[in-house]
Amino acid sequence: MTVYVDDAVWPWRGERWGHLMADTLAELHTFAAQLGLPRHVFQNKTSGAHYDVTAAMRERAIELGAVPISRHHDRERLRAVIARAKAQGRGARDDAVS
């Protein structure tokens, strides 16, 4: 099982943001909790189940073992991770950590 964090490229509220995704929802929620992210910020979207993270949170996630993925260098891997996140998104069963 793996947790992934993409490039923090999306500007919002003076920060750069990226996405924290994982092979399973349980792993995603557990890892997010380790980062100090409250469960209510989980993004259960049809575009993909994820947590938004700032550039600083991204660096901390990498320190904790998340695999960095880049839109510029890991396109195939990123597509696979996003496809998995989409399958986990809205409507998918969430028997993960609540």
Q: Which domain holds residue 75?
A: 3-88
| Domain presence at residue 94 | no
Structure confidence by residue, pLDDT tens digits, 36-72:
999 999 999 887 899 999 999 999 999 999 999 987 7
| Domain presence at residue 78 | yes
Taking Cα atoms as reference points, which of 88, 64, 46 lies closest to residue 5? 64
> Does position 4 have pLDDT exceeding 90, yes or no?
yes
Q: Looking at the 3D structure of the chain, how many domains does it have?
A: 1
| Domain presence at residue 48 | yes
| Domain presence at residue 93 | no
Whether the full predicted model's pTM is greater than 0.95, yes or no, is: no
| Domain presence at residue 96 | no
> Does position 35 have pLDDT exceeding 50, yes or no?
yes
Q: What are the beta bridge partners of residue 44?
A: 49
Is the CB of residue 25 less than 8 Å from the CB of residue 91? Answer: no
